[in-house]
Structure 1
Amino acid sequence: MARRLVSGAGFEHVVFSRGDLRTTERIHVYLEGDGLPWRSRHRIASDPTPRNPLALRLMALDPSPSIYLGRPCYFGLAQADGCSPWLWTDARYGAEVVDSMVAALKALLPADGPPPLTLIGYSGGGVLAALMAPRLGGEVRVVTLAANLDIDAWADHHGYSRLSGSINPANEPPIGASIMQLHLMGARDREVPPATVARFMAVNPGAQRRLFSDSDHRCCWLDDWPALLLLLDG
């Protein structure tokens, strides 16, 4: 994988990529979970970078041309201009974050006609995938794993304060029918119980949902990923 810094809309993003990004083949774009926004229930982390980046490990199993797009202020950029804990706590899915990630992704792709994209978001990365896809244009698919697609229902379930600076995909207009959606969920997921995404699914009746009886929030996506990739692109 090649590592680089890419400018978005007001923020820098750490990006890992593999393969020819000027290809006409479909590119897989991996979006990580929230990492470590809080060190404890009452203490904000000074660096939200994930200690065990599951989406990056998924990308390592993927032979397709791929991009791992980091969020603003992650991967050593927490002290960069414009960064503050607001952007990895209440506004972690806010317009500033979404717009900058869309801009950074577009900067990585050919301006004369981007190839088809599949946004693959794990946990909170799935929230960002659902918010980014309608803003990208072109041929886009959305695949999420264990994603909290109704962030209000997720916060209420855990007794957290709602994320006042974030966009809730369940409150947005339905994602266009031209964007294929596949949402993978674990029946044993206590962090994002499948019932908490019911309102999002009702707003997006064309979306596909697949429930894995033996999976929870982290297990067993890595084990299942090679077979799921064949399903996606087979």
Structure 2
Amino acid sequence: MIALLGACLLAGCAAPHGGVRTADRLAAAAGMERCVVSGAGFRHLVFIKGGLGSAPDVHVYLEGDGLPWVSRHRIASDPTPRSPLALRLMAMDPAPSVYLGRPCYFGLADGDPCRPWLWTHGRYSAEVVDSMRAAVRAVLPPDSTARITLIGYSGGGVLATLIAPHLAGEVRVTTIAANLDIDAWADHHGYSRLSGSMNPADQPPLDARIGQLHLMGERDQVVPPATTARFLARNPMAAVRSVSGYDHGCCWLEDWPGVLASLDASAVAIEVQ
């Protein structure tokens, strides 16, 4: 706990937006600790559940993109997600867990060096990835040898695949409804490509030491499974589960305890009912 207190700035947000209030309420109900951690040039809201000091396994949850745009031509002043699915998943997780917010999210958008580029075209940029990687290490005890499982929902899954190669030790990645080829995803929807972001489908394959599980909903119209084909072709060792009847939001919460139980049993062989 001493190391954790050294990393955390125990600060709240003045007049928090609705998304921040929702996150705080969900976290408090689940008994999570709230703090702000410094990454590489940015601050990150963090929620922590369970003791991290001697934990052999730590789950790190990464949220979706939230609300980067209010409309197709209007950028949001605060991209904080209004309904944080990854936080709800973490609340169901019995393992020691960390919920890591992105730079400039959760009421931190007004601070320097935040700018709208970081939650629009640069949402998966090297700046964002480097700061989130540093924040993961900042929140863990310096002598931690825990196996880290990065669990990313939607755009959080993109960040999980980009962060994983830069973490030492044993690392696993689990993505849920993630747009793993951001060019194919943008083209499918007729969006401008995220020119300031790194595309997982263009990166070298993840090292074989990094266990991968990618969960997809067969009915997902936000990230159709076909748009991830190029990423999966570059990562043939990855485990993939396409779940009948699921879409982008439904029904990951309902079956999450079963996914976690399987994740604990094996890094690869996971059955989703």
Structure 1 and Structure 2 fold alike (TM over 0.5): yes
Aligned with 1:224 (options 249, 252, 255):
255
**How far apart, CA to CA, are the structure 2 residues paired with 1:191 and 1:73?**
24
Q: Which runs of 4+ in 1 moved over 3 A?
A: none
After superposition, the C-alpha distances for 1:142-165 in whole angstroms (9 at most, x for unaligned) are: 000000000000000000000000
Aligned with 2:90 (options 52, 56, 59):
59
Match for residue 95 of structure 1? 126
Match for residue 194 of structure 1? 225
Percentage identity across aligned positions?
A: 71
What aligned pairs does 1:42-191 form with structure 2 within 5 A after superposition? 42-191=73-222
Q: Which runs of 5+ in 1 are unaligned?
A: none
* Aligned residue type for 2:145: P
Which of 1 and 2 has higher RCO (CA within 8 Å, sep 6+)? 1
Aligned with 1:205 (options 236, 261, 267):
236
After superposition, the C-alpha distances for 1:146-205 in whole angstroms (9 at most, x for unaligned) are: 000000000000000000000000000000000000000000000000000000000001
* Aligned residue type for 2:42: F
- Deviation (angstroms), 1:137: 1.4
Match for residue 13 of structure 1? 44
Secondary structure of the 2:123 match is coil
- Deviation (angstroms), 1:110: 2.1
- Deviation (angstroms), 1:111: 1.8
- Deviation (angstroms), 1:113: 3.7
**How far apart, CA to CA, are the structure 2 residues paired with 1:113 and 1:48?**
32
Q: Indicate conservation of the 8 Å contact 2:219/2:245, yes or no.
A: yes
Secondary structure of the 1:197 match is helix
* Aligned residue type for 1:87: L
Q: Which runs of 5+ in 2 are unaligned?
A: 1-31, 266-273
- TM-score w.r.t. the length of structure 1 is 0.99
Secondary structure of the 2:51 match is coil
**How far apart, CA to CA, are the structure 1 residues paired with 2:54 and 2:195?**
39
**How far apart, CA to CA, are the structure 2 residues paired with 1:226 and 1:66?**
14
C-alpha root-mean-square deviation of aligned residues, in Å?
A: 0.6
Match for residue 54 of structure 2? 23
Q: Indicate conservation of the 8 Å contact 2:133/2:163, yes or no.
A: yes
Secondary structure of the 1:141 match is strand
| Deviates further, 156-165 or 23-32 | 23-32
Match for residue 69 of structure 2? 38
* Aligned residue type for 1:46: S
**How far apart, CA to CA, are the structure 2 residues paired with 1:145 and 1:111?**
29
* Aligned residue type for 2:41: G
**How far apart, CA to CA, are the structure 2 residues paired with 1:38 and 1:24?**
38
**How far apart, CA to CA, are the structure 1 residues paired with 2:239 and 2:91?**
25
Higher gyration radius (CA): 2
- Deviation (angstroms), 1:112: 2.2
- Deviation (angstroms), 1:108: 1.0
| Deviates further, 99-108 or 17-26 | 17-26
